[in-house]
């Protein structure tokens, strides 16, 4: 069976990326930084090994987070041998990529229910 390939990119199309295979892990983050950078209440992400990731186009970085300088789309972060992809930047809906955990649940909105099968962490996974 061939590995699954997922593609994605920014709103204007200047930056494109590909990830091969399945992610190492998927999650949601409710921290203040993810809220501010996404303009939403949380960020959904998947983490792939860096070897499974390729990208084309110019990006800019702020605190390790890559975005398109033309349209401002927040796309990915590359660090410690991993590529963290914002699931909303994938071309197709991220079907089958259900978050396995939630970070910073102390900041989750009280009206937003927890994911039924996800582990929860008050802060980061390591804490």
pLDDT at 4 over 80: yes
Residue-level pLDDT at 93:
86
Structural element, H or E, at residue 34: helix 32-38
Mind listing the pLDDT tens digit for each residue in 5-45?
999 999 999 999 999 999 999 999 999 999 999 999 999 99
- Are 99 and 62 in contact by the 8 Å Cβ rule? The answer is no
126 located within any domain: no
Instruction: Write down the mean pLDDT value for the chain.
Output: 94
How many distinct structural domains can be found in the chain? 1
Residue 84 within any structural domain of the chain: yes
Do 24 and 47 touch, CB atoms closer than 8 A? yes
Q: How far apart are CA 106 and CA 30, in angstroms?
A: 8
pTM exceeding 0.85:
yes
Backbone angles phi, psi at 106, to 5 degrees: -65, -20
Convert the pLDDT of each residue in 33-44 to its tens digit.
999 999 999 999
Mean pLDDT over residues 57-68, rounded? 95
Assigned domain for 28 exists: yes
Any domain includes 125: no
In a domain, 48, yes or no: yes
Give φ, ψ of 75 to 5 degrees. Answer: -120, -55
Query: φ, ψ for residue 35 (rounded to 5)?
Result: -65, -45
Residues spanned by the domain of 35:
5-120
- Residue 85 domain-assigned? yes
Tokens of residue 28, six digits: 């949601």
- The domain that holds 112 is classified in CATH as 3.90.1590.10
What does DSSP assign to residue 36? Answer: H
Q: Which of 1-5, 55-59, 107-111 has the lowest mean pLDDT?
A: 1-5
pLDDT of residue 2: 65
Q: State the residue for tokens 């800019």.
A: 60
Task: Give the model's confidence band at 127: pLDDT under 50 very low, under 70 low, under 90 confident, else very high.
Answer: low
Residue 78 lies in a domain: yes
Q: Would you state the pLDDT for residue 94?
A: 82
| 39 is a domain residue | yes
């Amino acid at each position: 069976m061939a590995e699954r390939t997922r593609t994605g990119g920014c709103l204007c199309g200047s930056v494109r990326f590909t990830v091969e295979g399945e992610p190492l892990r998927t999650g949601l983050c409710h921290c203040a930084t993810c809220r501010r950078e996404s303009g939403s209440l949380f960020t959904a992400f998947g983490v792939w090994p860096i070897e499974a990731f390729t990208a084309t186009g110019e990006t800019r970085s702020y605190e390790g987070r890559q975005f398109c300088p033309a349209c401002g789309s927040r796309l990915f972060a590359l660090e410690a041998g991993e590529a963290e992809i914002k699931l909303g930047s994938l071309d197709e809906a991220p079907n089958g990529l259900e978050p396995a955990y939630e970070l910073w649940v102390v900041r989750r909105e009280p009206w937003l229910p927890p994911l039924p099968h996800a582990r929860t962490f008050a802060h980061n996974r390591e804490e």
